[in-house]
Amino acid sequence: MSQHFDDARIPALSRRAMLRAIGVAGLTLAGSSVRADQSIRLPIAGEPRDWPITHDFPQKGSMILQRTRPPLLETPMEVFDRGVFTPNDQFYVRWHWAVIPTSVDADAFRLSVRGHVNQTLSLSIGDLLRLPRVELAAVNQCSGNSRGFFLPRVPGAQWAHGAMGNARWTGVLLKDVLDRAGVKPGAVQVRFNGLDEPVVPDAPDFRKSLDIDHARDGEVMIAFAMNGEQLPLLNGFPLRLIVPGWYSTYWVKMLSDIEVLDRQDDNYWMATAYTVPDTPHANIMPGQTGVKMVPISRMVPRSFFTNVADGASLPAGAVATIRGIAFGGDAGVAKVELSVDDGRTWQPATLGEDHGKYSFRRWQVEIPQLMKGGHSLMVRCTNTAGDIQPAASNWNTSGFMRNVVETVQLTAI
Amino acid sequence: MRHLIFVVGTSFAALLASTPAWPAPAISSTTVELPAGDALFPGGPEADAINNNCLACHSADMVVNQPALPRSTWESAVHKMIKVYGAPVEDSDVPAIVDYLAKVKGSGQ
């Protein structure tokens, strides 16, 4: 597989890109953070304040540039206001290693299934297209989404809330593929590897594993389409593992190898990286040590404002519609509630169409006339398992699993 | 534009629908070019060590976009890159890399 690190051209902003950015700014309410100089001010405390907007990545539109190589691209918050599904060309991007194939031959590509199975398989895309097809709406969220809001700050990609997206995933069930290989008795986990590789040969290749029962639960999928189209290369073309309700670290991109293990996977990316404190909300005190760590797994409920940003102004004495998106984590959205009085009282939001329990769900509230002055609006989601967003932020050294109630300060003028 | 037949999940189950009814999406070979991301760390000679050792694996913007962090956090980060991620950094270059990070992205702690 080839890679191209030699193309140093950073194209000047095209007229189309500029118009697109202006369009984004025009759509948002006061408090919008898209700036004419192609940077965006994220609501993160401290430096840096302004982040570049990039249009330089293939099959991608306007994205917040967190890192060029390997790419870390964040979805601007305005995108989530436009619909419950995140368009492929603005779906966030996160790679660990810089050796990413930049060319994938769809005819030559093979997915291997091997290890503790009766029969090793080498499946073409065509083979997968002939299997029973499934489709599922599901949120893909980085473990470290919203890391930039951790206080004290922690190193890592300084995401605001845009390391998440929701798509309709089309593909086949992992269970169906495993059944064709024939899992042998005694299988413990299934390990997944993609085409990306470390730059340094001795470095740990990025591989993730699921317990065998999870892998065969009839929900975990191998997707070849996203919102009805083939996946953008940077989102994992041609195949991506879909693990509904679990953090994106398990959703292996450019999936090329499935290995059934007769033991627990102890590779670095399972045993050390992507572990969280085994405490409620993965929360510890800064500096606390000696905490038992476990692999991150299920997502937790979250909700966001999408048509008002922190610091925005609204006309006083006028009715306003406040709206956003929510998701339940590994369960559906039971309710979304809004508070306009700093969390003293809560009113239920009207929920939008239900696209299934793993999808974003839109919410909306008509708020009463606000008196002149500052107002603190809060939103919280309760999922169908009864989990509710906490009032206090969690903290851990990796900046994982943030799901505190979101707050925006508005001024009625 | 293709239109898929979307099977909307009920509130109960049927989140997944096994349906061969809609046409297979076209899956076409794809070739892209990625931006090089080869800009140097600013700072002239005091950035030599970080420029010589760190840019093989990642672009400089990852560091530039970090918050101010304690020197001990930067020391840990550099050692993690070497021990865990196999970064081929000369021992003699480590102090200059940590000094640079503590100066450019240090919290003064």
Q: How far apart are CA A365 and CA A116, in angstroms?
A: 53
Mean of pLDDT values over B18-32: 77
- Give a yes or no: residue B30 inside a domain: no
- Give a yes or no: residue B64 inside a domain: yes
DSSP assignments along A289-309, one per residue = -S--EEE--B---EEEESS--
Q: How far apart are CA A254 and CA A365, in angstroms?
A: 40
Closest CA to A314 of A31, A22, A25, A27: A31
Residue of higher predicted confidence among B108 and A288 = A288
Whether B11 has its CB under 8 Å from any CB of chain A: the answer is yes
Closest CA to A93 of A109, A77, A116, A70: A70
- Give a yes or no: residue B12 inside a domain: no
Q: What ipTM is given for this predicted complex? A: 0.87
**What pLDDT was estimated at residue A17?**
33
Beta carbons of B61 and A153 less than 8 Å apart: no
Task: Identify whether the C-beta of residue A102 lies closer than 8 Å to the C-beta of residue B34.
Answer: yes
Domain assignment of residue B59, given as a range: 39-109
- Give a yes or no: residue B91 inside a domain: yes
Closest CA to B57 of B84, B85, B76: B85
Task: Identify whether the C-beta of residue A315 lies closer than 8 Å to the C-beta of residue A295.
Answer: no
Q: How far apart are CA A178 and CA A192, in angstroms?
A: 12
- Give a yes or no: residue B15 inside a domain: no
Restricting to A residues 366-395, those with a Cβ less than 8 Å away from any Cβ of B are none
Beta carbons of B28 and A106 less than 8 Å apart: yes
- Give a yes or no: residue B32 inside a domain: no
**What pLDDT was estimated at residue B97?**
98
Interface A–B counts its CB contacts (< 8 A) at: 178
Q: Which of A51, A200, A356 sits opposite B15 (nearest CB)?
A: A356
**What pLDDT was estimated at residue A140?**
98
Residue of higher predicted confidence among B26 and A261 = A261
Closest CA to B62 of A116, A142, A157, A82: A157
Restricting to B residues 76-105, those with a Cβ less than 8 Å away from any Cβ of A are 77, 84-88
Whether B33 has its CB under 8 Å from any CB of chain A: the answer is yes
Q: pTM for the full model? A: 0.89
Closest CA to A57 of A1, A19, A95, A84: A95
> Which of chain A's residues have a Cβ under 8 Å away from the Cβ of B6?
135, 168
Task: Identify whether the C-beta of residue A143 lies closer than 8 Å to the C-beta of residue A398.
Answer: yes
Q: How far apart are CA A291 and CA A395, in angstroms?
A: 13
Taking only the tens of pLDDT, chain A with its 413 residues reads 333 323 223 233 333 333 333 333 333 333 334 444 589 999 888 888 899 999 999 999 999 999 999 999 999 999 999 999 999 999 999 999 999 999 999 999 999 999 999 999 999 999 999 999 999 999 999 999 999 999 999 999 999 999 999 999 999 999 999 999 999 999 999 999 999 999 998 899 999 999 999 999 999 999 999 999 999 999 999 999 999 999 999 999 999 999 999 999 999 999 999 999 999 999 999 999 999 999 999 999 999 999 999 999 999 988 899 999 999 999 999 999 999 999 999 999 999 999 999 999 999 999 988 899 999 999 999 999 999 999 999 999 999 999 999 999 999 99
Omega within 30 of 0 (cis) for the link into A390 = no
- Give a yes or no: residue B102 inside a domain: yes
Whether B13 has its CB under 8 Å from any CB of chain A: the answer is no
Task: Identify whether the C-beta of residue A192 lies closer than 8 Å to the C-beta of residue A249.
Answer: no
CATH number for position B68 = 1.10.760.10
Whether A175 has its CB under 8 Å from any CB of chain B: the answer is no
**What pLDDT was estimated at residue A19?**
31
What is the average pLDDT score of chain B?
A: 84
How many structural domains compose chain B?
A: 1
Q: How far apart are CA A158 and CA A32, in angstroms?
A: 19
- Give a yes or no: residue B17 inside a domain: no
Whether A357 has its CB under 8 Å from any CB of chain B: the answer is yes
